[in-house]
Amino acid sequence: MKRALQWMGVLSLALLVGCAQQPPKDDSLYHALGERPGIQKIVEGMLLHIAKDDRIYKYFAKVDIVRVRDKLVDKFCVEAGGPCTYTGDTLEEAHKGMNLSRSDFNALVENLIDSMDDQHIPVSTQNRLIARLAPQRGEVIEK
């Protein structure tokens, strides 16, 4: 009996350690953005805003815009905690040789915000998405 209690204690400790190393997946942002259909609307709106933006539209003029849309939807979905898989190039590879500036990056973020405003996404939700995307800024600018 004593040995059984010891094993139960060891097993309980192992389960607690395992749970501590694998935090639960937070998909609340994914849901707040309207899941995949909502994210697709946001991305499509962002691309429409970019098409009218003299600061950065040139970077999108000669790309397969459907592929870009699909990869951005996947990327945003993953970053929002959704059940998607991003299979595109790394951000560094995708932006290699473009030599994007901080202001280019900021213009894209402004277009993203405009699109989320168009979709009536609350500012607090917008800030959560931007906070998840912001650390990737260094992978994009001046590459």
Binding residues for heme: 95
Nearest to 40 by CA among 104, 113, 109, 116: 116
- Closest by alpha carbon to 86, among 94, 98, 95, 76? 76
Do 29 and 121 form a contact (C-beta atoms < 8 A)? no
Dist CA 35 CA 25 (whole Å): 15
Which residues define the annotated binding site? 95
